[in-house]
Amino acid sequence: MSARPPIVAPSLLAADLSRLAEELALLDPARDWLHCDVMDHHFVPNLTFGPIVVSAARKLTTATLDVHLMMERPWLMVEEFRRAGADVITVHLEACRETREVLRQIRATGAKAGLAIKPGTPFAAAAPYLPDLDLFLVMTVEPGFGGQAFMPDMLDKVTAARDLRERQRLGFVIEVDGGIVEDTARAARAAGADVFVAGNGVFRAPDPRAALAGIRAAVAS
């Protein structure tokens, strides 16, 4: 993607949706992204929101909308999420049959294409797709819920992706998602991550503004 981060992406999942405008005012749209977790109660046990909420967020912020689809058959809704205002659309490798085709479909809408892998999925399974990606998302918790503990073992995948990116001179960014607070963000940055999703670590912190500033500072390089 054009600018090589670091970027912090507060996750809407942990925001108070009854105060959406106030919550989104926390972001600096020039540098932060808004991460939107779409869950379908099939791919993951939880159920969250769809394009309607993404389009509400789109009206409230000019920040990059980073839409993480934790759903089965994501290809059926790619265009709809793009129309709702998604800038980056990430699908799960585990949910795709024709992965390359889905990535092409995302790019054809004008959105950036992301691919995510769950903790149990090895890096090698995603490696063949990295040349086709704008963003590679390494889940650092089991997808489905916010507020879980960061899995440090996942950082080996981050480093493997960074090394492959350097070797092949590729341009995708590496995102980590789950359990991100200052310390885990710093560790993920050292491993090679560029984009840091933080739900509870920002919106449920005693002082969300200070927490966001703290994570930004922890990953500043």
Residues 108-127 as x/- pattern, contact with ligand DX5 by CB under 6 A: --------------------
Judge residue 213's burial from the number of C-beta atoms within 10 Å of its C-beta, 0-12 exposed, 13-18 middle, 19 or more buried.
Answer: middle
The residue from 32, 87, 177, 194 that is catalytic is 177
Residue with Cβ nearer Zn ion (87 or 177): 177
Give the x-and-dash track for 32-71 against Zn ion (CB under 5 A). -----x------------------------------x---
Q: Among ligand DX5, Zn ion, none, what does residue 50 contact (CB within 5–8 Å per kind)?
A: none
Q: Which tokens in the block code for residue 89?
A: 């659309």
Give the C-alpha separation, 160 to 191, whole Å. 9
**Contacts with ligand DX5 in 145-184 (CB under 6 A)?**
145-148, 177-180
Per rule CB under 6 A, count of chain residues that contact ligand DX5: 22
Question: Is-contact 55 84, C-beta < 8 A?
Answer: yes
Alpha carbons 75 and 145: distance in angstroms, whole number: 23
Q: What residues between 181 and 220 interact with ligand DX5 by CB under 6 A?
A: 197-201
One-character DSSP codes across 31-50: T-EEEEEEEBSSSSS-B---
Task: Return the number of the residue (58 or 68) whose C-beta is nearest Zn ion.
Answer: 68
d(CA 111, CA 131): 16
* Residue 177 bears catalytic tag: yes
Name which of Zn ion, ligand DX5, none residue 131 binds, using a CB cut-off of 5 to 8 Å depending on partner kind. none
Rounded to the nearest whole angstrom, what is the least distance from the CB of residue 71 to ligand DX5 in the complex? 12
Pairwise CA distance, residues 121 & 101, whole Å: 20
Given a contact cutoff of 8 angstroms between Cβ atoms, the answer to whether 197 and 7 are in contact is no
Residue 121: contacted member of ligand DX5, Zn ion, none (CB under 5 to 8 Å, by partner type): none
Altogether, the residues listed in the chain come to a count of 221
Query: Rule CB under 5 A: which residues touch Zn ion?
Result: 37, 68, 177
Q: Which residues are catalytic?
A: 37, 177
